[in-house]
Amino acid sequence: MSEAASLLSGETALVTGAGSGIGRAIAVAIAHEGARVVLADIDREKGTRAAEALTAEGLDAIFVETDLASEGAADALFDAALASLGQISLLVHSASPRRREEDTVFTVSDETWSRMVGVNLESAFRLGRRAGTHMKELGLKGRMLFITSLHAESPRNLPHYSASKAGMTMIMKELARALGPAGIRVNALAPGAVAGGGFAANPALAAKIALGRLGAPEDIARMAVALLADRFSVYMTGTTVVVDGGLALHNWIDPSGP
């Protein structure tokens, strides 16, 4: 194994939303860095395919089907991952329901609101609490990473998505503060416009991105590895790292702006 491939050697990871998009890319990246990984997703076919692709490479991966909008699902998932791995030193919460970009505060349904909040916010809290308790009890210097969004800071329709991601950011900070004395690091990663997973990116959006292209899930996964690896981020906790190619530099108020 090369030096680069040993960044997460010996780690045990639970990754939600790992069947496609950013979640899958992160699961693949950390598996290649030596971690044993439980991939969790609502889509059995995609999740199974993702796990099988890793095991075909000789990597340690297993798929667990879950619907994190369901009552008790977060705790059941954590228990299943723990049963498979023995312990969990890394938690990545990337799962998020698909969304309609045109939804506004007046058009989003109660059901859609509840599902988004259940997966993004409720599950972040429950998984983070379980992981933090587990890591403290075992004396693990664990790490958690929550995938948030530019929407957590800047509203652009999607009130259910924006509110849940903003709440997730505060859960991350609360966990970081509570778990820091135990040496457990908790951070967030805010992607920009990334094609795949729950986001159907319009290619025309690339004109508003400073680097001139949409993001790829692998762009996000590389930073995720850096935030999870002590070699690069041992003194980072309670912070959100933006990986957006410069999208947030765009003047959203002025339609004539770049």
In a domain, 70, yes or no: yes
Question: Bridge partners of 241?
Answer: 189
Residue 198: predicted pLDDT: 58
Q: What is the CATH number of the domain that holds 204?
A: 3.40.50.720
Residue 207: predicted pLDDT: 86
pTM: predicted TM-score of the whole model, two decimal places: 0.93
For residue 29, what are the domain limits? Answer: 4-249
CA distance 187 to 171: 10
In a domain, 68, yes or no: yes
In a domain, 257, yes or no: no
pLDDT along the chain (258 residues), means of 10: 69 98 97 98 98 98 97 97 98 90 77 92 98 98 96 78 92 98 98 76 82 94 98 98 91 51
In a domain, 77, yes or no: yes
Residue 201: predicted pLDDT: 67
In a domain, 254, yes or no: no
In a domain, 145, yes or no: yes
Residue 2: predicted pLDDT: 45
In a domain, 258, yes or no: no
Residues with catalytic roles = 161
Beta-carbon contacts of 175 under 8 Å, excluding residues fewer than 6 positions away, are 128, 129, 132, 144, 186
Q: What is the number of structural domains in the chain?
A: 1
CA distance 238 to 225: 16
Residue 1: predicted pLDDT: 40
Residue 195: predicted pLDDT: 82
For the CA atoms of 226, 234, 30, 167, what is the dihedral angle to 10 degrees? -80
